Structure 1
Amino acid sequence: MTDQMTDEKARASAWFRELRDQIVAAFEALEDSQTTGPTAHLPAGRFEVSETKRASADGSDAGGGLMSVMRGGRVFEKVGVNISTVYGELGERAQAAMAARKGIPGMKSDPRFWASGISLVAHMQNPHSPAVHMNTRMFWTPHAWWFGGGSDLNPCIEYDEDTAHFHAVQKTHCDRHDAGFYPRFKAWADEYFYVPHRGRARGVGGIFLDDHNSGNWEADFAFIQDVGRAFLPAFVPVTEKRRNTPWDEADKDTQLVHRGLYAEYNLVYDRGTKFGLETGHDANAVLMSLPPLAKWI
């Protein structure tokens, strides 16, 4: 495979930017509509946007992106929606990790790569309103391309109907492409978002996929777009339902302890965190997923 995928790369990168813009607008609208409850007196949250850069070993252009973070809002205590398009050559550790996952030949002779995607993590003010993670991405080397991503719900106080709604929306969007996708990618999420040293999952799951290449780029791109489109209808109604639920200090304590679990997972196991740091991307953007406050018992 050579550089003939210039148009496909541009389309993927543009889609991730479009999805980012939709989500930012929807989240700021949630902030504006929060006019009751214990946080209504706060200013409606707005995203602070900054450019990020990937550091290359030789100082050449290696791409970058936008980091958009809202802190201390009425609904969101901290939420980040990042996009990036980065490129260059993979270092030896990243080459080895990629070869182990994909079995890609030729990485040492031609270690070029290109990657673009969106990454989102939201930590909520109300402990009854679940945290959430979503990302989708496209990865290219001269030897292969693939898509990955998904989303998962992370409540500290679980409601079965919220879990059912979140999963139902994921299933609907997966079923548009293949009836086998949802059960396959749900099971993958259950395995991937498991915290071995705690013996439990970090949340109530969702879907997760990686290294997705059916051989039909258009079909795979259409699917990963629907993975992204599923996010707002899966998450926003749950947020609207829970954001005014009364809470007390015990609920907040439960939330902070659960955030500790989330931080442990992202720092110890998450592939995206490891890849971002190993390839020289902006550390603040990579670690955007960490909660503003957490505690351990």
Structure 2
Amino acid sequence: MIKKINTMYFSATDTTKKVVCNIGKKFSQNIDKGISINNIDFTLPEARKKIVSFTKQDILIIGIPVYAGRVPNILLKYLNSITGNGALAIPVVVYGNRNYDDALIELKDILELNGFKVIGGGAFIGEHAFSKTLAKNRPDEEDMAIARDFANQLYTKIITQDKYQTVTINGNKPYRKHYIPTNKDGIDVDIRKVCPKTTSNCNDCKLCVTICPMGSIDFQDVSKLNGICIKCGACIKKCPMNAKYYDDEDYLLHKHELEVNFTYRKQPELFL
């Protein structure tokens, strides 16, 4: 008997949040229109310091973005601290129209190792963190309709099955290595240390400081970083003055290649 619906998400630019919350809302409507949804947003650093656990009467819909085809490294410690205690779980990954590679199966494995029963999974598309044109404005209404149908199928599965078999999800074991971009000569490049720059358009509103998932942007001087940049796109896409940008040659080439090579509209993939 499900008594609580929980949504969890890391969502710097709100794409993953939109998918997960849509699934959770539709699921709650199927079970009981009056049932509340417990939302856990672990995008910001302080949220990832809290201990989270569930029970057999919980269902968890948890979503993360795909980074280089995998679960983001910076989330692994936190995700492995969550305990399921027999709760049902639906892992969701959101990627920028290139490929989700082994991210979904990796998230499924993490959940199962931590005591969850995974009853389904989904890979959805969101506007790419690097771009304002690749998968622009996704997830859109077509994606949301698929998410709602996914919730309906999950609900049907729960009320019609007494025992849940292991869900088969596309992916490789061992997992593939992280996707690595190349430079103009076809040589692998490492863009992990690339950081955004700040233009004179900045009006020092501090929004970028408050939304950085790593807490890396300096409060006194927002053009400086006190920690790592994971290139989530939050400070660039949400800046009201368009004052943040990247100028690294390898990063920009990679961004351009993504925008050119992955324009074909990919569809969400569901696993039940």
The structure with higher relative contact order (CA 8 Å, sep 6+) is 2
Structure whose residues are more often helix by fraction = 1
Higher-strand-fraction structure: 1
